[in-house]
């Protein structure tokens, strides 16, 4: 019996791998051995920002300049009127954008009677189709009336798709618990979303999205929280943004309150053996 099994296995078909003798003996004694999972293609970091320094184009919108932007470049707007957003996205050094040892502090609130807020986007800095994006951040405060998100948008300005790594409404959750929500926003003709616990105010949170051919996966603190079978046909960029007084959070009740989020790191990875060039 053992001899016949070995003889069969030593003559593999063209699409069958040679099986080691030690494994054949184990199969004979213990039953078939479950084959290992195929190796996951390696990731290569292609973009990283840890905010030791910070360069924002402040509306110049020139990719050659190689900096973050503080508006929607393709749409040419600083707030989303369709959402009834009241916060004008504007770069004000030391106010809406404040660089300190912890990272980049984005803030939103009233300044000299105007409602302004921080926003950063890789729209003119880095875009990619497949791969992984990671964002390390700490939500310090999100008062009622404010809306905050970390999301992927299409580089060509089309919408949908939109992939939200984190979207939250100020005052909607308890002070100790944040809730994230992943939303496909009509991509492929569907509208699907799921809520998941994210963390506590003042606590470091790692958000991650893995966009592959036919599958998108979301992670919080490296724990998988959701997966969707979607095929992405466009390059995407990352955006971190505040809204205020808009459709979802409603009016801002405390004009003295300030929304504040610290962005510690943004990094993008690709898998070169998926056929995408790495530059």
At residue 45 the predicted structure's pLDDT band, cuts being 50, 70 and 90, is very high
Is the pLDDT at 64 greater than 70? The verdict is no
Q: Is residue 249 over pLDDT 80? A: yes
Work out the number of other CB atoms within 10 angstroms of the CB of residue 185. 16
Give me the mean pLDDT over the 142-149 stretch: 94
Most confident of 20-34, 138-152, 173-187, 265-279: 138-152
Q: What is the pLDDT of residue 273?
A: 67
Q: What does the buried/exposed string (b/e) look like for 192-229 if buried means 16 or more CB atoms within 10 Å of the residue's CB?
A: eeeeeebbebeeebbbbbbbbeeebbbbbeeeebbebe
- More confident site: 9 or 44: 44
Tally of CB atoms within 10 A around 262: 20
The reported pTM is 0.79
Assess whether pLDDT exceeds 90 at residue 30.
Answer: no
Band (pLDDT 50/70/90 cuts) for residue 148 is very high
Q: Tokens 């005052």 identify what position?
A: 171
Task: Pick 210 or 35 by higher pLDDT.
Answer: 210
State the DSSP code for 193.
E
pLDDT at residue 269, rounded to an integer = 96
Mean pLDDT, the chain, whole residue set: 79
Percent of the chain with pLDDT over 90: 44
Each domain of the chain, given as residue ranges in start order, spans 1-36, 44-274
Does 150 have pLDDT greater than 90?
A: yes
| Average pLDDT of the segment spanning 210-232 | 87
Task: Return the pLDDT at 160.
Answer: 78
Per-residue pLDDT at 26 exceeds 80: no
Q: Can you give the pLDDT at residue 62?
A: 42
Q: Say whether 36 sits in a helix, a strand or coil.
A: coil
Select from 96, 97, 101 the least CA-distant residue to 52. Answer: 101
For the residues 141-161, what does the mean pLDDT come to?
A: 91
CA distance 226 to 137: 20
Q: Is the pLDDT of residue 3 over 50?
A: no
Cβ contact 166:240 at 8 Å:
no
Statement: residue 193 has pLDDT above 70: no
Q: Is the dihedral of CA 98, 102, 103, 104 positive or negative?
A: negative
Q: Check: CB of residue 18 under 8 Å from CB of residue 12.
A: yes
**Mean pLDDT along residues 243-249:** 91
Task: Determine the topology of domain 44-274 in CATH.
Answer: Jelly Rolls (2.60.120)
Q: What share of the chain is helix, strand, coil (3-state, %, to 5)?
A: 10, 40, 45
Give the residue with greater pLDDT, 221 vs 214.
Answer: 221
Tokens of 76: 């040419």
Range of lowest pLDDT (61-75, 140-154, 176-190)? 176-190
Query: Is the predicted pLDDT of residue 176 greater than 70, yes or no?
Result: no
């Amino acid at each position: 019996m053992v001899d016949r099994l070995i003889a069969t296995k030593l003559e593999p078909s063209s699409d069958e791998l040679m099986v080691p003798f030690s494994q054949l003996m184990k199969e004979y004694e213990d039953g078939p051995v479950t084959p290992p999972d195929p190796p996951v293609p390696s990731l290569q970091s292609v973009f990283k920002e840890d905010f030791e320094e910070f360069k924002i184009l402040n509306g110049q919108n020139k990719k050659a300049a190689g900096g973050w932007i503080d508006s929607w470049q393709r749409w040419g707007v600083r707030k989303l009127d369709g959402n009834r957003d009241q916060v004008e996205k504007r770069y004000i050094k030391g106010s809406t954008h404040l660089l300190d040892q912890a990272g980049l502090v984005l803030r939103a609130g009233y300044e000299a009677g105007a409602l302004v807020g921080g926003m950063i986007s890789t729209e003119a800095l880095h875009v990619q189709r497949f791969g992984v994006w990671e964002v390390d951040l700490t939500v310090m405060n999100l008062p009622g009336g404010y809306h905050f998100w970390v999301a992927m948008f299409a580089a060509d300005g089309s919408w949908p798709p939109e992939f939200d790594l984190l979207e939250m409404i100020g005052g909607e959750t308890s002070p100790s618990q944040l809730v994230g929500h992943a939303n496909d926003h009509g991509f492929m003709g569907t509208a699907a979303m799921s809520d998941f616990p994210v963390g506590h105010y003042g606590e470091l949170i790692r958000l991650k999205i893995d966009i592959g051919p036919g599958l998108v996966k979301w992670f919080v603190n490296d724990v998988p929280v959701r997966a969707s079978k979607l095929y992405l046909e466009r390059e995407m960029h990352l955006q971190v943004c505040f809204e205020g007084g808009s459709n979802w959070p409603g009016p801002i009740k405390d004009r003295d309150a300030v929304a504040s989020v610290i962005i510690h790191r943004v990094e993008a990875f690709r898998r070169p053996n998926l056929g995408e060039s790495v530059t």
